[in-house]
Amino acid sequence: DKVSKGDYEHYMLKEIFEQPSTIKNTLFSHLNTENSNIHFENLDELKEKLVKASRIIIVSCGTSWHAGIVGEYIIEELARIPVEVEYASEFRYRNPIITKDDIVMAISQSGETADTLAALRYSKAQGATTFCICNVFNSSMARECDFTAYTYAGAEIGVASTKAFTAQVAVVSLLAIQLGLERNEITQEKANSLVEEIKTLPSVVNHIFNIDDHIKSVAKNYTKTTSFLFLGRGINFPIALEGALKLKEISYIHAEGYPAAEMKHGPIAMIEESLPTVIIATNNEYYDKLVSNAQEVKARKGPIIAVVNEDDSEMIHTADFVFKVPRVSDMLQPIVSVIPLQLFSYHVAVLKGCNVDQPRNLAKSVTVE
């Protein structure tokens, strides 16, 4: 392997810990260092199309699909462009309605995933403008798309994606801010304050590593657990999906991510002492609702791990364990909330003796159907 693990036991751990620098590299590749203006190289020709797009359809797979859902929430909130997020594998075969005013945006670490590439090719043939957010220079998607915005996460070796995900979310956030500005949906002041806050994310993420030992000690309680529920709401909903996926991929523990309010439509029936629930409850408009979800879980003897902000006041009394993360604007919270979940799944998997870098049956890049 050309890329070394350095002092880390696994690539995945190294890649988790690299995130302050990979997020920084990604952000500063798209931010003018002098005035913090957002710029995407070579976007000029397409900018008009993007700004006037009637719809953005995001196609992707796996963890990149979760970045797509984060993108949906941020782009719709800041730029007010309707966004649809599709599994590339479904999209490509279901005769989707695509017009020339649509932007089809692929999100892919490798730029080679067969389904995502096929979805892009199909969209291009239908006359859509194609765009990709990709981590591999000159990959098939980057070559074939009308426009590529690169993430600068560096080579990701661990099969379970970590640093590529946060880099994808970083790019999508900058894009949403730029589109919001160009479409006059947000003020320059709002854009500036978000950009200033985004610039603090590398150090915010670094700060979260202080609770790594605590996360590891919590993980020790769950090596025999067979199933987990992950709940989140709003922009943290895709983080619940991603937390569950990380755990499944590397520890082989069944885990389901759910929008918290949907709990009452099914998962609540499963709650009991042996089914822990991970609730992402950072301080936002949904906080009180998540606290009541937690109380419903507790009333049924379900153990709770909660991801909360450092100034949390209520969840800490309901949850069995909390992972405290710094509070940032809601739109930027996913990059922060996902970090303890990456670490949690890593520690559970290592404690179980699983091969975290090369989990059974999974491939880093699925280039065949």
> Based on CB atoms, which residue is closest to ligand G6P, 81 or 107?
107
> Quick check: is 364 catalytic?
yes
Phi/psi at 65 (5° precision): -65, -35
* Chain position carrying tokens 């043939």: 125
- Is 61 one of the binding residues for ligand G6P (CB under 6 A)? yes
Which member of 26, 29, 109, 309 binds ligand G6P (CB under 6 A)? 109
- Is 358 one of the binding residues for ligand G6P (CB under 6 A)? no
Cβ 191 vs Cβ 181: under 8 Å: yes
> Based on CB atoms, which residue is closest to ligand G6P, 293 or 342?
342
Which member of 22, 89, 151, 161 binds ligand G6P (CB under 6 A)? 161
Choices 104-112, 226-234, 301-309, 317-325; region in contact with ligand G6P by CB under 6 A: 104-112
> Based on CB atoms, which residue is closest to ligand G6P, 22 or 116?
116
Cβ 105 vs Cβ 132: under 8 Å: yes
Which member of 29, 63, 173, 225 binds ligand G6P (CB under 6 A)? 63
Angle at 122 between CA 235 and CA 44, to 5 degrees: 65
Angle at 51 between CA 60 and CA 191, to 5 degrees: 90
Least distance (Å) between residue 230 CB and ligand G6P: 17
Side chain identity, residue 164: A
E strands, 75-160, where?
A: 83-87, 102-108, 129-134, 147-150
> Based on CB atoms, which residue is closest to ligand G6P, 63 or 178?
63
Choices 4-12, 174-182, 292-300, 358-366; region in contact with ligand G6P by CB under 6 A: 358-366
DSSP per-residue letters across 274-297: T--EEEEE-SSTTHHHHHHHHHHH
Least distance (Å) between residue 140 CB and ligand G6P: 11
Q: How far is CA 296 from the centre of its chain?
A: 27
> Based on CB atoms, which residue is closest to ligand G6P, 155 or 362?
362
Phi/psi at 355 (5° precision): -85, 90
* Chain position carrying tokens 């909360």: 308
CA–CA distance, 347 with 217 (Å, rounded to integer): 9
Q: How far is CA 68 from the centre of its chain?
A: 8
Choices 55-63, 181-189, 229-237, 258-266; region in contact with ligand G6P by CB under 6 A: 55-63
Residue 64 exposed, middle or buried by CB count within 10 Å (0-12, 13-18, 19+): buried
Interface with ligand G6P: number of residues (CB under 6 A): 16
> Based on CB atoms, which residue is closest to ligand G6P, 121 or 364?
364
Closest CA to 84 of 124, 112, 119: 119
Least distance (Å) between residue 276 CB and ligand G6P: 24
- Is 114 one of the binding residues for ligand G6P (CB under 6 A)? no
Contacting ligand G6P within 116-155 (CB under 6 A) = 116
- Is 366 one of the binding residues for ligand G6P (CB under 6 A)? yes
What 3-state DSSP class applies to 299?
A: helix
Least distance (Å) between residue 269 CB and ligand G6P: 30
Choices 158-166, 196-204, 324-332, 346-354; region in contact with ligand G6P by CB under 6 A: 158-166
Cβ 195 vs Cβ 180: under 8 Å: no
Least distance (Å) between residue 216 CB and ligand G6P: 23
E strands, 43-141, where?
A: 55-60, 83-87, 102-108, 129-134
- Is 26 one of the binding residues for ligand G6P (CB under 6 A)? no
> Based on CB atoms, which residue is closest to ligand G6P, 286 or 344?
344
What 3-state DSSP class applies to 186?
A: coil
Least distance (Å) between residue 248 CB and ligand G6P: 11
Choices 90-98, 109-117, 227-235, 266-274; region in contact with ligand G6P by CB under 6 A: 109-117
| Upper half-sphere CA count for residue 117 (Cβ side, 13 Å) | 17
Closest residue (Cβ) to ligand G6P?
62
Contacts with ligand G6P by CB under 6 A lie at: 61-64, 108-110, 113, 116, 159-161, 362, 364-366
Q: Which residues are catalytic?
A: 364
